Amino acid sequence: MNVCCLLDNSQVAFGVDLDLLKTSTPFPKAIETCLKGMVYSIEDIFFQFNPKNRPFIKEVREACRLLRTTGAQWIHERKTAMENGDDVPKDILTQIIKSNFALFEINVMINFSIYNILGQETTANQLAFCIMELARHPTILEKQEVDDVIGLKLDISYDDLGQLIYLSQVLKETLRIYPTAPGTSRELPEDMVISGIHIPGGCICIFSSYATGRMEKFFKDPLTFDPDRFHPDAPKPYYCYYPFSLGPRSCLGQNFAQVRGDKTSILCYPILYFSYYSGFFRLFLPLNFFSILSTRKTVEVSKCSAL
Ligand code: HEM
């Protein structure tokens, strides 16, 4: 699944066919290694200082280098092709280079890594969980929607996607029980009272969509996989279902991840890229674990304006 999502990402964004299904390259492994490095350093703030971990840290550095050099190579090839007036795909990379390459060169590199990491792992895991639930619920598989809309078509259009209403319910329900980014965090700029709890400014609040998605209070019989919870006529689950987070810093790729029939989602690609780099640095900001520990309380997301 990872390989498929990576293929999809690199083809849509960079017009590059990694040919991963036929050949094996170190690229997906490098992404996995970078992610592991990130998780280990978040779990243990002293991870990088432990001499025992040096060989792994070296591996992570090499993986990062591979992602960067691959990105640099793709960017260079595309730029040269554009300068020579060759035909180039009308993809995200071309749009960024056209807009102002000098300004965005560093960002393009960073975005390359972010795109492949954030966009691939989350969607791949969502699809894996979805397939697992479909295998457990053969009655869902009996629905005719996909056959009716896609049938034997080889080319699927955006308009077709817009008609896959039940499939979109299945995907939403998958993210409710298995949010592939299980939460997010916000640092409070100032003191705040949330749900009657005073939280001092500077603290970091953790929001867990994994927890709220599985709470009986918000979803009846929460562990039952039921796509009809997301039927267009069903009440909307406000502030308790947020797999892409909420507010201005929510997932930039959410429209892309849920590509719908409307063409608006395609328009967000360039915007996505221009703003990626800020998200990247935020991801690696050291977390203030002591403040989390001192304020670890559960509050209702709907009461929290920090998002
Ligand atoms: C099922 C798929 C996905 C899920 C569940 C998901 C979820 C999330 C979540 C929870 C955040 C944190 C936002 C916050 O802290 O408020 C996030 C951030 C982000 N996501 Fe996704 N994401 C998905 C797919 C993608 C894709 C396909 C892309 C890129 C094409 C992407 C790009 C980003 C970026 C750039 C950020 C950082 C935004 C910022 O800091 O301003 N995501 N995502």
The closest residue, in CA terms, to atom 43 on ligand 1 is 251
- Which is higher by pLDDT, 83 or 24? 83
Query: Residues forming the annotated binding site?
Result: 251
How is the chain split into domains, by residue range?
1-136, 145-284
Assess whether the C-beta atom of 257 lies below 6 angstroms from ligand 1. yes
CATH homologous superfamily of 145-284: Cytochrome P450 (1.10.630.10)
Is pTM beyond 0.80? Reply is no
pLDDT digits (tens, 9 = 90+) for 113-134: 566 667 777 888 888 899 899 9
pLDDT digits (tens, 9 = 90+) for 119-177: 777 888 888 899 899 999 989 988 888 888 888 887 878 888 888 899 999 999 999 99
Assess whether the C-beta atom of 241 lies below 6 angstroms from ligand 1. no
Assess whether the C-beta atom of 282 lies below 6 angstroms from ligand 1. yes
**How far, in Å, CA of 28 to CA of 121, rounded?**
10
Residue of 116, 251, 260, 307 best suited for mutating to test ligand 1, as the one with most atoms within 8 Å of CB:
251
DSSP state of 49: G
pLDDT digits (tens, 9 = 90+) for 249-287: 888 778 777 764 333 333 333 323 333 333 333 333 322
pLDDT at 159: 84
* 55 C-alpha to ligand 1 centroid (Å): 30
Most confident residue range from 11-20, 70-79, 220-229, 232-241? 220-229
- Which is higher by pLDDT, 16 or 221? 221
Which residues are CB-neighbours of 231 under 8 A, at least 6 positions away? 169
Label residue 111 by pLDDT band (50, 70, 90).
low
**How far, in Å, CA of 222 to CA of 230, rounded?**
13
Assess whether the C-beta atom of 126 lies below 6 angstroms from ligand 1. yes
The answer to whether residues 99 and 233 touch, using CB atoms and an 8 Å cutoff, is no
Res. 304: pLDDT tops 60: no
* 90 C-alpha to ligand 1 centroid (Å): 24
Atom of ligand 1 at shortest distance to CA of 272?
35
Label residue 101 by pLDDT band (50, 70, 90).
low
* 181 C-alpha to ligand 1 centroid (Å): 8
The answer to whether residues 171 and 258 touch, using CB atoms and an 8 Å cutoff, is yes
* 119 C-alpha to ligand 1 centroid (Å): 7
DSSP state of 53: G
Assess whether the C-beta atom of 205 lies below 6 angstroms from ligand 1. no
Question: Helices marked H in the chain — which ranges?
Answer: 2-14, 27-43, 54-83, 92-136, 138-141, 145-149, 158-162, 165-177, 209-213, 254-257, 264-283, 289-294
* Strand, coil or helix: 116: helix
- Which is higher by pLDDT, 207 or 114? 207
